[in-house]
Structure 1
């Protein structure tokens, strides 16, 4: 038996959330995206005072959250099948008059008022609930229609900028709202309606976040609402945008046999994600006092702010020095059996991460785009084994090419090959691409101490466990290695001769023992590669006492 259906989706979510460089608008935008279906579609369009016009006498929008058995017949005129991942599926009992287009119209019109700038799409069709096979086939057809509509329908969701209108300096749209109270940046002036909506939602977002993690915050700690309150300190005041995405989650959802399983998996994935983030917050609060050595944290602000925390898709911002640590911890927690996942296969969620390091004042959306591209690069490594976890990173310095591939081509191509060694394996310490190997080497390179022997030169001290002696590496040599690695074998050979002549040795990294003599290595005719450029670049962005 088939039922009438509307499948909604939210388009260009990341561009909507990160279109402004103000953390408060990013926070509010994320909150709006999470609540449009519950607060606007169900709370307003299909509210009791409005649903009569669509001949809907009852709406069931809660039982999907607890349903354990397949739905064969609808318990109400309108049944919410699931909400999650930017999608919402609504089922309707068939009647003589079809009001589904009217519902879509009312919903999108209300969005223009409550969430200007947010683009959505919809597909209207039928869902067959008679068997798992027919359900999956009809749902796939709905998604195919939704995709077709994305490519043919381009909604206008902002008041056009005519050239005679003041442009909003936050997102460039028409500045048609005057902020008399200075809510946005404490100065009364004109902004766009989109910025107004996001800013007003930011306070609700903060209240919801505090409530969700009240046990971890303990009434003591707070999430920052501004980027400059994350604790970054001059001269290394960079921040990091960390984007983490679960591996092959589409496959896990497509394996669901019915609506009940799909809804249950959606709920459990969200619970797993929030539990993993709660565990991360526990580690942060426990070591909070230690951060004062290198961060300027005031008023008990935490050095992390989640921006997207829904399903398996997570984005947070933090000081650059803590990005690798926090990303690794969160991914490790996600990849544990937390006693939550019961459907969809594995009890864990493997994931990949992209870490974009950039100056605080750098355009935020540009940083997020890079983090997404880095996550995609990490996912490319995981495709051989979806159960593995990988992480890639990049550092933005001023004007650079917009695409990750261009940055790597322009800035990380040496005479012998590609100088970027990653992505790095997070869940295996024995792999040559192990993230722990990078952390180990970067920590050796960064531990520079002044020496009276060489005026103005720093030294890197490391203990060699095999030879039981202390190795002293001049930091000028470490920095110089970055440039030598760009050149050919002759220059590297000369550099290493000088290195050994001074009785210096490379850091003892067991996973990289093939690289210590010539710095570059390629097994069995494979392209040459070197891990040391990454380690040198991450010297200032890895704190081994936290990342080990």
Structure 2
């Protein structure tokens, strides 16, 4: 009988660690430090605890085995508890030293019989249950930074300052240990490990991506925060034993390793594909390219990219096209990976995965943490697609925040809902290639949004808008006065500007609205008006 322990490591305060500051360089450095968990700290600790460790080790013959690593989470199989506890100590100590402020927990499972079928699947469920209890029972990372004796406050994180950083004017700026660690990971002159890794993901050079960071900080008119998460993957992993060829622990381990590795590679490849789809010659002289427009890079900065998760910051002008391109590429690529498709088929699921995205488009100096919160709320809204469309289907929801004092999605959507329940937004939108129907999906496919935007942006041979901005502003105001007022104004415009494409804005017949299966009325005009400056007329039509 061979007894084995499962060790789980997870970084759980990722959002706070990354978004506690608005400094793009520190945000990029934080992104790099998070990846150290599955790229460096665990590997180095395994080498110290188990000299000569290699990824090829299997727990049947060796004292440890790396089961899965990625997206701020690592699973390791260890044969004796003492070594497992030492491994947790080594990893968490490295985190404390190199990334103060990042909270990484390690949990060791009870021993289980490796020869008994199904035991590894149960151990995975057990460590995740235990992890939640351990995490909530420990003091959070803020407890490490006590305020007594009284110390100065960090200029970027609000944490107690550790040092004064010299400034060009000869003064000093107080910085915390967390802030310094992020700067080290980013690098003083765009040469840090963090920027090099992100540049490799984006298919460019660290210097070019450094210009993107500065562009997003100082020059961009609008900044997009893109938050992506896979659909239904939690249920897949919760019952992953159904996706395994047989009940043995070895089969479970190998299938899980192949699935998670394939998922990580699909996410990275989807990101590259989305960036490549948006690439092209510079269209703005002040865009994030070189002095003469060469070495141009799409202004997208990937902050978190692991497993089925993506958090990116980008120029507002490319936020929606990038999110759409990523979702479609992710769905296509997961349907082409045998490690993923075969496991899903065995589990009785469709042989591909999908994801949903929330996109918040805000002003560049809007607090990034608040922008990320809004993007996450939009992601939750986008996931409504799962309940409405059968099978894997990507959804996308967005909001352009004109009023920075109100970034609560529930309040924003409440303002776009009339007293009789009529919704002035049609979100979320379906991005996948699925057959349109006359039910919930009606008017809610991406090409419906593009069609409306094209009508709003149409110009004549002299470059003049076919639909005057003043008239569209009046029509927008009419939406908030009720269906009858809005439709009356729409009818007046149609008769006045006949043949100029206004019909593309209609929902049903001569009305801007259409009825959902529930009986509630919806219009897509407000979405199109908000997206008009952020979606090109040919973007996915």
The reply to whether TM is greater than 0.5 is yes
- Paired with 1:20 and 1:116, the residues of 2 have a C-alpha distance of 15
Change (3 A) 1:61 1:85: farther
Aligned partners of 2:321, 2:171: CA distance in 1, in Å? 37
8 A contact 2:506–2:513 mirrored in 1: no
**What's the counterpart of residue 277 of structure 1?**
271
Specify every segment of 5 or more residues in structure 2 that has no aligned partner in the other structure, as ranges: 187-191, 245-251, 345-349
Distance change in 2, residues 1:100/1:179 (3 Å) = same
Match of 2:178 in 1: 194
Question: Are the aligned partners of 1:59 and 1:77 in contact in 2 as well (CA < 8 Å)?
Answer: no
CA separation of 1:395 and 1:210: change in aligned 2, threshold 3 A:
closer
In the alignment, structure 1 residue 153 sits paired with structure 2 residue 138: yes
Correspondence for 1:205 among 177, 194, 205: 194
- Aligned match of 1:312: 308
Query: Does 1:60 find its partner at 2:53?
Result: yes
Residues 1:544 and 2:512 are matched in the alignment: no
Q: CA shift at 1:207, angstroms?
A: 1.8
2:73 corresponding residue in structure 1: 87
* 2:373 aligned with 1:376: no
Q: Report SS of the residue matched to 2:312.
A: strand
Tell me what 1:109 maps to: 93
Distance 2:21 2:506 in 1: 46
Aligned partner of 2:512 among 516, 519, 532: 519
**Secondary structure of 1:146's partner?**
helix
Q: CA deviation at 1:501?
A: 4.1
Cα pair distance change 1:523/1:242, threshold 3 Å? closer
Q: How does 1:402-413 map to 2 (within 5 A)?
A: 402-409=407-414, 411-413=415-417
Structure 1 pair 543–434 and aligned structure 2 pair: CA distance change class (3 A): same
Relative distance call for 1:296 and 1:88 in structure 2 (3 A) is closer
SS in 1 for 2:104: strand
Residues 1:530 and 2:523 aligned together: yes
Assess if the C-alpha contact under 8 Å between 1:240 and 1:320 holds in 2: yes
1:460 deviates by: 3.3
* Equivalent of residue 360 in structure 2, options 356, 359, 378: 356
CA contact (8 A) 2:29 2:184 kept: yes
TM-fit CA distance, 1:450:
11
C-alpha RMSD of the superposition: 3.1
How many Å separate the matches in 2 of 1:337 and 1:348?
8
Q: Which residue of 2 aligns with 1:455?
A: none
Residue 342 of structure 1 corresponds to which residue in structure 2? 339
Equivalent residue of 1:151, what SS? helix
TM score, norm. by length of structure 2: 0.84
| 1:342 counterpart SS class | helix
Partner of 2:457: 446
How much does 1:306 deviate? 1.1
Partner residue in 1 for 2:63: 77
Q: Look up the match of 1:436.
A: 447
Are the equivalent residues in 1 in contact too, given 2:379–2:397 (CA < 8 A)?
yes
Q: Secondary structure at the match of 2:75?
A: strand
**Alpha-carbon spacing, 1:109–1:243, altered in 2? closer, same or farther (3 Å):** same
Q: Could you tell me whether the CA contact under 8 Å between 2:162 and 2:175 is conserved in 1? A: yes
Residues 296-335 of structure 1: pairs in structure 2 closer than 5 A: 297-299=289-291, 300-302=295-297, 303-335=299-331
Q: Would the alpha carbon gap of residues 26 and 176 (structure 1) be closer, same or farther in structure 2, given more than 3 Å must change?
A: same
The 1:497/1:309 distance shift into structure 2, 3 A limit, reads closer
Q: 1:488 to 1:546 in 2, by over 3 A?
A: closer
1:5-84 matches, within 5 Å, as: 5-43=6-44, 45-48=45-48, 51=49, 56=50, 58=51, 60-63=53-56, 73-84=59-70
Deviation for aligned residue 1:524 = 5.8
